[in-house]
Structure 1
Amino acid sequence: MINDNNVIDTLEELETFLNAVDKGGLGLENAVGVALATNNSNGRPFVAVLDDNHQLLLGRWVTQDVFDNGKELVRNGIPKSH
């Protein structure tokens, strides 16, 4: 499920989304991973929350800039502040 009304258009918004997923704030059951991907039919980029079977639980569209520059944030996670 991808929500068409909520496009992540800054790295700060991506970080907030990743924090919400990490802390369980979105109420998703069995969420085990996050990935940046592109839609097969139109090439539009999105961030995907995946379950342990690599099935899409939740997706949010992202801008091309977030897709291009947010890969390390998704791959390595949000830096922990002390």
Structure 2
Amino acid sequence: MINDNDVIDTLEELEAFLLLVEGGGLGLKNVSGLALATNNSNGRPFIAVLDDEHKLLLGRWVTQDVFENGKDMVRQGPKKLH
């Protein structure tokens, strides 16, 4: 469930995506976590929105730079207030 044309390529875009998910703006149900991961078949990095059973609800590709430098933001949450 990842759109190949929708790539997060800056930390600001990552933060906006995290705020959108946390605020319920995507209409996803049973969201329990977010994680940076890599695709098993090609190693491409992405941000995963996971449900309470750790199944992928939504994913967005990220650049390698965002993958490397956005880990703390995903772990700790975005700094901006809702």
User: TM-score, structure 1 length as denominator?
Assistant: 0.96
Q: Deviation of residue 59 (structure 1)?
A: 0.1
Question: Any gaps of 5 or more consecutive residues in structure 2?
Answer: none
Question: Any gaps of 5 or more consecutive residues in structure 1?
Answer: none
Question: What is aligned with 1:25?
Answer: 25
Q: Deviation of residue 52 (structure 1)?
A: 0.4
After the TM superposition, list the runs of 4 or more consecutive aligned residues in structure 1 that deviate by more than 3 angstroms. Answer: none
- Matched residues, number: 81
User: TM-score, structure 2 length as denominator?
Assistant: 0.96
CA RMSD of aligned residues (A): 0.8
Q: Percent identity?
A: 75
- Matched to 1:10, the amino acid is T
Question: What is aligned with 2:3?
Answer: 3
